[in-house]
Amino acid sequence: MSLLEVRNLNVSSGALSLVGDVNFEVDAGERVGLIGESGSGKSLTALAIMGLLGEGLSASGEVRFDNEDLLAASERRRCELRGSRIAMIFQEPMSALNPTRRIGDQVGETLRIHQNFSRRASEKAAIELLARVEFAEPERYARMYPHELSGGQRQRAMIASAISCDPEVILADEPTTALDVTVQRRVLDLLDRLVDEEGCALLLIAHDLAVVSEVCDRVVTMYGGHVVESGSVAQIIDEPHHPYTKALLATSRALSVTESASGADLPSIPGTVPSAGQFPRGCPFRDRCDRSVEACVEMPPTLTEDTRTLACWNPVERVERVSDGAR
């Protein structure tokens, strides 16, 4: 049994399915990367695990943390666990920080709520936490309001808040996207250390597949709200079997090559991700897939489990994977 187990997770907005039948697990001391284009359902999956879906959205299935189903738990129980044992680093720091309260006050709040720290002790701890996420003058920044910080500084303040109670599970939604390369490196090292030294389970949502490949042990690919492939980093990044994972990787590699070339067109997967509810019948990726066969039109591919999970009627052949020279 893993520390975090997501079983048949569905998220919907009324009759509209946004996330469907998502399954994966994260063990203590493990880093799992969640990848997919914008709109594939990564953030909704993390928010559903936290019990923080917005108004009008509902979740079903199971989210088992330490063998307790969080979707079946009371809101009070979820509040007890949120921040103390399960923490989330949100994609939008501004939506997670209160604009009217000082940074130090907010970073220390979880310690006051969950560990009965006094105000003075929590302020001292907040300064230490800000130093841990690379603030050069933590006392000064602790006194500031969110609007006085840059996007990257706000992101680091939120990371400080998320790790304050030494959570067992960290859901990190694009935690380093707004950071420059040096700070990104240090934040990733910090998350890495939390996994290694504290035995945390890390779910890392990231667009940068080089980061996922470097940090994670396993990878889950999502498209159209569904898991289409999952397995070890070596399986998914070095030898993807799903045409979507393969296209995603090719785009990511081409992007890193052209990034510095001025005027170069940014590479992308042909076509666009349809809006929720507008995916084609059969395989949701079929309008964009160069391997589509008759079965892909008829019905959605079933998820097969071997050493990896895969949902595809016509996976990438070994010979193509070798000739394309993975990585």
Ligand X SMILES: Nc1ncnc2c1ncn2[C@@H]1O[C@H](COP(=O)(O)OP(=O)(O)OP(=O)(O)O)[C@@H](O)[C@H]1O
Length of the chain: 327
Chain positions 221 to 280 lying near Mg ion, rule: CB under 5 A, are none
**Site pattern 257..276 for ligand X (x: CB under 6 A):** ------------------xx
Query: DSSP assignment, residue 82?
Result: B
State in angstroms the smallest separation of the CB of 214 from ligand X: 19
Answer for the pair 144, 164: CB distance below 8 angstroms, yes or no: no
Work out what residue 160 binds among Mg ion, ligand SF4, ligand X, none; the CB cut-off runs from 5 to 8 Å by kind.
Answer: none
Inter-axis angle of helices 151-162 and 119-132, nearest 10: 120
Candidate residues 12, 23, 40, 43; the one interacting with Mg ion per rule CB under 5 A: 43
61 binds ligand X per the rule CB under 6 A:
no
CA distances from 86 to 36, 47, 179, 240 (A): 23, 12, 23, 31
Among residues 171 and 310, whose Cβ is nearest to Mg ion? 171
Among residues 74 and 95, whose Cβ is nearest to Mg ion? 95
12 binds Mg ion per the rule CB under 5 A:
no
Locate 62 and state its tokens. Answer: 């199971």
Residue 11 β-bridge partners: 19, 59
Count of residues engaged in binding ligand X, rule: CB under 6 A: 15
Among residues 42 and 291, whose Cβ is nearest to ligand X? 42
Q: How far apart are the first and last CA of the chain?
A: 33
State in angstroms the smallest separation of the CB of 226 from ligand X: 11
Task: Name the residues that contact ligand SF4, by CB under 6 A.
Answer: 243-244, 283, 285-286, 289, 291-292, 296, 301, 312-314
Candidate residues 12, 17, 84, 91; the one interacting with ligand X per rule CB under 6 A: 91
Residue 65 β-bridge partners: 4, 68
State in angstroms the smallest separation of the CB of 115 from ligand SF4: 47
211 binds ligand X per the rule CB under 6 A:
no
State in angstroms the smallest separation of the CB of 125 from ligand SF4: 49
Among residues 72 and 297, whose Cβ is nearest to ligand SF4? 297
271 burial (CB, 10 Å; 0-12 / 13-18 / 19+) is exposed
Among residues 62 and 287, whose Cβ is nearest to ligand SF4? 287
| Distance in angstroms (rounded) separating the CA atoms of residues 250 and 270 | 12
Among residues 36 and 108, whose Cβ is nearest to ligand X? 36
State in angstroms the smallest separation of the CB of 306 from ligand SF4: 16
CA distances from 10 to 2, 15, 194, 319 (A): 20, 12, 30, 36
| Distance in angstroms (rounded) separating the CA atoms of residues 8 and 24 | 9
Answer for the pair 221, 248: CB distance below 8 angstroms, yes or no: yes
Query: At CA 231, angle to CA 229 and CA 233, rounded to 5?
Result: 115
Answer for the pair 10, 58: CB distance below 8 angstroms, yes or no: no
Choices 32-40, 193-201, 259-267, 282-290 (CB under 6 A): range interacting with ligand X: 32-40
54 binds ligand X per the rule CB under 6 A:
yes
Answer for the pair 187, 156: CB distance below 8 angstroms, yes or no: yes
155 binds ligand X per the rule CB under 6 A:
no
Rule CB under 6 A: which residues touch ligand X?
A: 13, 18, 36, 38-44, 54, 57, 91, 275-276
* Interacting residues toward Mg ion by CB under 5 A: 43, 91
